[in-house]
Structure 1
Amino acid sequence: MTPQFLLVFPNMFGFKGGIQVYSAFLLQALQQLYPECQYHVLLKYDRKIPPSHDFLPQTRFWGFGRFPRWMQSLLLALILLQLSLQKRPQLMICTHVNYSVVFHWIKRWLGIPYWVVAHGTEVWDIAEIGLQRALCHADRVVAVSQYTRSRLLLEQKLKPAQVVVLPNTFDHRRFEIKPKPKYLLERYGLSPEQPVILTVSRLGRSARYKGYGILLDALVLLRPKIPNLHYVLVGKGDDRPWIEAKIETLNLSSSVTLTGLIPDEELCDHYNLCDVFALPSKGEGFGIVYLEAMACGKPVLGGNQDGAIDPLAGGEWGSLVDPEDVEAIAHTLYKILQKKYPNPRFYEPESLRNYVIQTYSTDRFVHQLNRLLSQQALPRL
């Protein structure tokens, strides 16, 4: 019988947040390691599956996004149970903790092992008993950062050997060091020598923890010192009216550009447009955007209270600041932009790029996943 993998992701094709990107890389890595296996992938929120994709032909997708929310959950659970009974997969993996409860019951009934991927806020401070039990009985809890692993071990009744780390990865071939793109300078009315701060983020009311609001406050402190400083904020979401009102209140209209959603092929160019990338968040499980910015040779500022500690190596490869301290954020950005920051790596683009490629490349991701899989005895794999 052909070995089977059963995977449950929130979505993968209709939206590209951190969990979605991680899910796609995980599926690609599994298929690179086990090209002979059958793959059954359940996607709760995706409405349509593209007719052409980069996954193996023996990959079967189920998308439930066209149904009402209550029906999505019901259908996902029923199909998951049906596939478990019919296919008897060697391993089940979900990339959001909410799906782990069904996995827990399937393991109790059928003995099928399962992994749960833990990213950030969705697994911090879990109080629901069902989710706690599902995590406790998972064969592996795969944290995307040491920070998330540490929090899980502190907050949940998990064994240290049970919680492993498989960090985020990224496609470094899409990101390279280049001059400031002329077409973007013209689009946003900027001069080549003008200092630019960049943030790439989801702009949702529930995402203010990412720090774009406090960066606007920091910009008020920075403008008297750097009058031509410009802030480019990339992203979309329902928080845009609040952001626009804040920009108006702070009299920053001439110093801020809200780009909205940009095409994927322009993302590298936007990183190369900036002089420093800033995301002083307090809720990142990891932060793929930090890797992308450093792969373009840019110094990075992140928060010191979340998973940004991992990609920035505790401050060795990026600046970590208190995400609620406006003055500290402004002071740090000023030092970086004036090339006075005490870490010389910030001004060595090739060193920044080499660091993230060596540490977080897809090849390293595949190698680490293979090591984790080899540690668990999986039948017929």
Structure 2
Amino acid sequence: MTKDSSSSSSIQIWVPNLFEFKGGIQAYLCDVLAALDDLHEQKDITLDDVVVLNKLDSKKPQDLFKASYFSFKFNGQLPKVFQTPAFTLNALTTSWQQRPELIVCGHLNFAPVAYLLHRLLGVPYWILVYGVDAWNIEDSLRRRALQAAEKVISISGYTRDRLIKEQGLPFKNISLLPVTFDTDRFQIKPKPSYLLTKYSLKASQPIILTVARLADDEQYKGYDQVIRAIPLMRQKIPNIHYVLVGKGSDRPRVEALIDSLGLKNYVTLAGFVSDQEICDYYNLCDVFAMPSKGEGFGIVYLEALACGKPVMGGNQDGAIDALCHGELGILVDPDNVDEIAYVLIEILQGKSSHPILYQAEALRQRVDEIYGFRRFQANLLALLKESNLVTL
């Protein structure tokens, strides 16, 4: 049964942070809020109050989420030792006073508190899951919270399938809400001359690109394997060049790997690149490669596709979803350096038999149809309908 047009909904959304650190989870949660805002403005849903409990941020930018029905409660201004207990107390007291119709846990870490409130007050809750956060869960309380959730919302079929296998969750209890991105930020353009000059490259030179955080705990991104594949690729394409965008604590180890293979002239570590410049880096390359094996989804694949670039990803994680099981790109064994080298050579030599790989406009159109913001809104609306939080 759906709500009538005069009724309204009160929702709480619990987030780790949104504004002071920009990562994939933060971007996804901001997209959820933006979609809720748009759906309300379009009168697809009626919102009385959306309370966002934020654990780590201390404030929000003035120009974001100004709607009167959005309210934010921050804990990041407190010393770190007090943030978790303060967040928990806020969640309990706010929920007790407000009795929301739905709690959305923006991270699995919050699920035990939502489970407690569900037991005390009967408030239904959703849990958003992304990737490694929901794999190999051993904590018994989190497992019970997963089982009791009204919905577990996964950004990818890969994570959903792992939860079914590892936690025994029924298929019907897990819904998909794939990520979205701002398609308009990414356009098909020629290789930027200023970047060619900056890195002493030629427009005709075959360039491979990866965009990833170089963190010690994110070596699963696969940039090591691309680096190791370069000597093999150079046998067929001597002037090949690899540009690796990203910063982090793993950079010294990556530099040592490059030096040990004698590839200093064939690899560029570009470091941090701003949002304003990142589209230029996608347009600099001839193929985007990130053969990862621990990615929850991988929005960078979508950004590269929106720039019309051929994309290669790993076949053991969320890249399977991002590339639509191979419809939008090529999936490889992320541990097989020979296969990575062979596929990249084939793509760069124009010999791939993939039907869409060299059709830049078709790649862009298809990724917008599947992962654009309108589709994201429609997917979220469908989930809300199932929870009796819409007007018709």
> Which TM-score tier does this pair reach, normalised by the shorter chain?
over 0.9
- Read off the aligned partner of 2:69 and give its amino acid letter: Q
- For the Cα contact (< 8 Å) 1:180–1:273, is it kept in 2? yes
The residue correspondences of 1:122-201 to structure 2 (distance < 5 A) are 122-201=133-212
The corresponding residue for 2:107 is 96
Distance 1:339 1:31, change over 3 A: same
Deviations 1:336-370 (A, max 9, x none): 10011111311000111111011111101101111
Residue 379 and residue 197 in structure 1: after superposition, are their counterparts in 2 closer, same or farther (change >3 A)? closer
Give 1:213 shift: 1.1
CA distance in structure 2 between the aligned counterparts of 1:287 and 1:226, rounded to whole angstroms: 28
User: How far 1:163 moved relative to its partner?
Assistant: 0.5
Query: What is the rounded CA distance, in whole Å, between the counterparts of 2:151 and 2:174 in structure 1?
Result: 6
Shift of 1:52: 2.5
Q: Distance in 2 between matches of 1:72 and 1:259?
A: 35
Aligned residue number for residue 225 of structure 2: 214
Unaligned runs of 5+ in 2: 1-6, 42-46
Matches within 5 A, 1:167-316: 167-316=178-327
Query: What SS does the aligned partner of 2:340 have?
Result: helix
Runs of 4+ deviating beyond 6 Å? none
Any conservation in 2 of the 1:90–1:379 contact (CA below 8 Å)? no
Shift of 1:25: 0.5
Q: Counterpart of 1:273 in structure 2: which amino acid?
A: L
Residue 243 of structure 2: SS of its match in structure 1? Answer: strand
Q: Distance in 2 between matches of 1:332 and 1:94?
A: 40
Question: What's the offset of the Cα at 1:78?
Answer: 0.8
How many residues are aligned here? 381
Q: How does 1:362-377 map to 2 (within 5 A)?
A: 362-377=373-388
Identity of aligned residues (%): 49
How far 1:223 sits from its partner (Å)?
2.0
For the residues of structure 1 that align with 2:259 and 2:73, how far apart are their CA atoms? 45
Q: Distance in 2 between matches of 1:52 and 1:307?
A: 32
Secondary structure of the 1:297 match is coil
Match for residue 16 of structure 2 among 10, 14, 21: 10
Residue 379 of structure 1 deviates from its aligned partner by 9.5
TM-score, normalization: structure 2?
A: 0.93
> Which residue of structure 1 aligns with residue 120 of structure 2?
109
Q: Which amino acid aligns with 2:22?
A: K
Structure number with the bigger relative contact order (C-alpha 8 A, sep ≥ 6) is 2
2:384, 2:390 within 8 Å by CA — same for their partners in 1? no
CA apart distance, 1:225: 2.0
Is the deviation greater in 33-42 or in 329-338? Answer: 33-42
Match of 1:65 among 49, 61, 76: 76
1-side partners of 2:361 and 2:187: how far apart?
10
Q: Note if contact 1:93-1:115 (Cα within 8 Å) is conserved in structure 2.
A: yes
Partners of 1:266 and 1:54 in 2: how far apart? 25
1:22 equivalent in alignment to 2:28:
yes
**Residues 46, 63 of structure 1: 8 Å contact kept:** yes
**1:334 matches 2:345:** yes
Q: Can you list the C-alpha shifts for 1:292-341, whole angstroms capped at 9, x where unaligned?
A: 10010000000000111112121122110000111110111110100111
C-alpha distance after superposition, 1:144-170 (max 9, x if no partner): 111111111111132221101111111
Shift of 1:211: 0.6
| TM-score, length basis structure 1 | 0.96
- Which stretch of structure 1 is more off in the superposition, 157-166 or 274-283? 157-166
Residue 2 (structure 1) shift: 6.2
Query: Which residue of structure 2 aligns with residue 53 of structure 1?
Result: 64
**Other structure's SS at 1:346 match:** coil
2:3 maps to none
* 2:358 matches 1:352: no
